[in-house]
Chain A
């Protein structure tokens, strides 16, 4: 029998602190949709996705209602589109992307990830088609999300790909200039891309995965922030160790609730359950913010000295609680710091407390990288490539996933606020210092060799 205090404590977490399941992502292998004719390929793709995923939203809503925990985002992820596009050209890539968009709309999901190429060691013709179709793909579709893996611990950093992605990002921004460069918000450049990540825009299904699987992302930072504030209201004489313990316990609880939902959704969909991603994913809602947690931990201006230590502690405690709660932890599993999607981070950028370099430092100890950062539209492509290279170096050297989702806002200068709408939030344009000073480095191209850590056998 349950105890009354247990029931009341869960009710508080669910209804006062708005615990939710942030993302349920159905991952599908679509490699069998390959066909010499692009029309036939698209028909197979549309048929496979809609037949396997049409019930996802209804099942998520029903299971969520049963437990009283809403599933906020329902998404699809597919195997890398570069495999399907082998032997096809630019026009086929755009047609396939439009098909994915239509299939996602038909299923009622909010995004479909997997317009992906893995180019950490080299670029195939199909990979090149994927990369260079992105300006059209991301400007002509709403729900298609793209990811390009340009670096890995084993391969090092493919600087040719990094250089090209700098240019591609500038072209995407121009192609979506009317929406302040929004197309770039649907593209992530990765080092060590995880094969089972449920979060967008970087979700795709890796080669080692089953035919279909359900991966879930647990609740956002609001629950952790509320737990810390509640604990501090009871006892002000807590140490950071006590606060880490509170985060750990909260993470345990949200992970257990998330796995419960994920497993039931998987069972109802008749597919394997994949992983629980422990990431704290903020939203623009006030309080649902990793920046707020940093403030609660005693850093009054996010970005001030201590911010990196605070987020390191948060990230670690979340993992420890989640790991004990579930034996199926995977994906990114860290605290995200997407600037426009986190009101406290955006505010700190606007006030000049949080700068690009400090964000980069913070990503050495948390997930997932320089995320949802608006930069001036006139930032040179080579500087964007160099920003990517720095972040990739952190991932490759420290054997972790890192990523860049950066938006050069056409016509915008540092300090100007831009609004991307909905969950993408709004942010001031961040200053890029030393723009234009990295061109020669990027133009060398080639591959930065894998670090010593890659030789672990």
Chain B
């Protein structure tokens, strides 16, 4: 949970270089704030950071934006957004299972849209997304929360058909196969009958 009562979501974008996190966190600390959670991504030379920052006394989000924006070294001003953080509303979701979609093929506009629209239509939540164009090829990887009500083979058939229309190889696989083949952590394996 957050350290202080008043929390903000802070988003920073910049060209990537050493010292960004140091500068942003310095600005937050100068306002008496605490960093409760953070995550960063760098994509083709550009840096983006999302943070949950809490402070003891309420302040205007613009004040936080201005302090962080000016913390960058000269010539590399940050683009900054901030808004008040409120706990996400409790929504009733059915049970979900974690799957990974991968798609490989010749790049063309609309690939991410086609797949994401299909997933949205099935109430499938994308919890992590990666895409990269290399040469003429595009690879798309999405980590998904799939409602357990769906027959996976039907989803696979739909996605493979969509992939075939786009010239893409598409696979939808349960995440445990990736955990099993890469990580040492224990999986919740079915034990079968004793």
Residues of A in contact (CB 8 Å), total: 36
Decide: A67 near B173, CB < 8 A? Known: A10-B181, A267-B192, A271-B192. Answer: yes
Tell whether B71 is near chain A: CB-to-CB under 8 Å.
Answer: no
Tell whether B25 is near chain A: CB-to-CB under 8 Å.
Answer: no
Enumerate chain B residues within 8 angstroms of A263, measured Cβ to Cβ: 189-192
Enumerate chain B residues within 8 angstroms of A272, measured Cβ to Cβ: 192-194
Bound: A271/B189 CA distance, A: 14
Bound: A15/B172 CA distance, A: 12
Chain A nearest CB, measured from B169 CB (Å): 8
Enumerate chain A residues within 8 angstroms of B190, measured Cβ to Cβ: 263-264, 266-268, 273
Tell whether B61 is near chain A: CB-to-CB under 8 Å.
Answer: no
- Set A62, A260, A266: member contacting B176, Cβ < 8 A: A260
**Scoring B residues 153 to 174 as 1 if CB is less than 8 Å from chain A, else 0, what string do you get?**
1001000000000000101111
Tell whether B130 is near chain A: CB-to-CB under 8 Å.
Answer: yes
Query: Is B181 a contact of A68 with CB atoms below 8 Å?
Result: no
Tell whether A65 is near chain B: CB-to-CB under 8 Å.
Answer: yes
Tell whether A214 is near chain B: CB-to-CB under 8 Å.
Answer: yes
Bound: A6/B176 CA distance, A: 12
Enumerate chain A residues within 8 angstroms of B193, measured Cβ to Cβ: 266-267, 270-272
Tell whether A11 is near chain B: CB-to-CB under 8 Å.
Answer: yes
Enumerate chain B residues within 8 angstroms of A62, measured Cβ to Cβ: 153
Using CB atoms, name the residue of chain A closest to B139.
A8
Query: Is A2 a contact of B192 with CB atoms below 8 Å?
Result: no
Query: Is A260 a contact of B189 with CB atoms below 8 Å?
Result: yes
Tell whether B187 is near chain A: CB-to-CB under 8 Å.
Answer: yes
Query: Is A6 a contact of B102 with CB atoms below 8 Å?
Result: no
- Set A3, A8, A14, A67: member contacting B174, Cβ < 8 A: A67
Enumerate chain A residues within 8 angstroms of B182, measured Cβ to Cβ: 2-3, 6, 9-10, 253
Interface of B is mostly: mixed
Which residues of chain B from 115 to 129 have any CB-CB distance to chain A below 8 Å in the complex?
127-128
Bound: A273/B176 CA distance, A: 18
Chain A nearest CB, measured from B140 CB (Å): 11
Query: Is B191 a contact of A256 with CB atoms below 8 Å?
Result: no
**Scoring A residues 242 to 271 as 1 if CB is less than 8 Å from chain B, else 0, what string do you get?**
000000000001101101100110111111
- Set A65, A256, A269: member contacting B180, Cβ < 8 A: A256
Using CB atoms, name the residue of chain B closest to A266.
B192
Tell whether A456 is near chain B: CB-to-CB under 8 Å.
Answer: no
Enumerate chain A residues within 8 angstroms of B152, measured Cβ to Cβ: 65-66
Enumerate chain B residues within 8 angstroms of A457, measured Cβ to Cβ: none
Bound: A1/B181 CA distance, A: 14
Contact sample, A vs B, 7 pairs, CB 8 Å cutoff: A2-B182, A7-B178, A15-B171, A62-B153, A66-B152, A256-B180, A263-B192
Tell whether B42 is near chain A: CB-to-CB under 8 Å.
Answer: no
Interface of A is mostly: helix
Tell whether B91 is near chain A: CB-to-CB under 8 Å.
Answer: no
Bound: A356/B178 CA distance, A: 42
Enumerate chain B residues within 8 angstroms of A266, measured Cβ to Cβ: 190, 192-193
Bound: A263/B180 CA distance, A: 13
Enumerate chain A residues within 8 angstroms of B156, measured Cβ to Cβ: 65
Enumerate chain A residues within 8 angstroms of B139, measured Cβ to Cβ: 8
Tell whether B177 is near chain A: CB-to-CB under 8 Å.
Answer: yes
Which residues of chain A from 264 to 284 have any CB-CB distance to chain B below 8 Å in the complex?
264, 266-273
Residues of B in contact (CB 8 Å), total: 32
Tell whether A239 is near chain B: CB-to-CB under 8 Å.
Answer: no
B interface list, Cβ under 8 A from A: 100, 102, 127-128, 130, 139, 141, 143, 152-153, 156, 169, 171-183, 187, 189-194
Using CB atoms, name the residue of chain B closest to A258.
B180
Tell whether A4 is near chain B: CB-to-CB under 8 Å.
Answer: yes
Decide: A273 near B191, CB < 8 A? Known: A2-B178, A2-B179, A2-B182. Answer: yes
Enumerate chain A residues within 8 angstroms of B143, measured Cβ to Cβ: 1-2
Bound: A390/B156 CA distance, A: 52
**Scoring A residues 1 to 42 as 1 if CB is less than 8 Å from chain B, else 0, what string do you get?**
111101111110111000000000000000000000000000
Bound: A69/B100 CA distance, A: 14
Query: Is A13 a contact of B173 with CB atoms below 8 Å?
Result: no
Using CB atoms, name the residue of chain B closest to A211.
B193
Decide: A2 near B100, CB < 8 A? Known: A65-B156, A67-B173. Answer: yes
Known: A10-B178, A11-B102, A253-B182. 5 other contacts (CB 8 A): A7-B178, A268-B190, A269-B192, A270-B192, A273-B191
Enumerate chain B residues within 8 angstroms of A7, measured Cβ to Cβ: 100, 102, 141, 178
Enumerate chain B residues within 8 angstroms of A256, measured Cβ to Cβ: 180-181
Bound: A69/B171 CA distance, A: 11
Bound: A3/B191 CA distance, A: 27
Which residues of chain A from 65 to 99 have any CB-CB distance to chain B below 8 Å in the complex?
65-69
Enumerate chain A residues within 8 angstroms of B174, measured Cβ to Cβ: 66-67
Chain A nearest CB, measured from B181 CB (Å): 4
Chain A nearest CB, measured from B168 CB (Å): 13
Per CB-CB distance, the 7 closest pairs between chain A and chain B, nearest first, are A267-B190, A266-B192, A68-B173, A256-B180, A6-B182, A273-B192, A67-B177
Chain A nearest CB, measured from B38 CB (Å): 15
Bound: A14/B102 CA distance, A: 12
Enumerate chain B residues within 8 angstroms of A13, measured Cβ to Cβ: 181
Bound: A264/B194 CA distance, A: 14
Enumerate chain B residues within 8 angstroms of A6, measured Cβ to Cβ: 178, 181-183
Bound: A273/B182 CA distance, A: 23
Enumerate chain A residues within 8 angstroms of B187, measured Cβ to Cβ: 260
Bound: A15/B173 CA distance, A: 12
Q: Which of B141, B173, B183 neighbours the largest number of chain A CB atoms within 10 Å of its CB?
A: B173
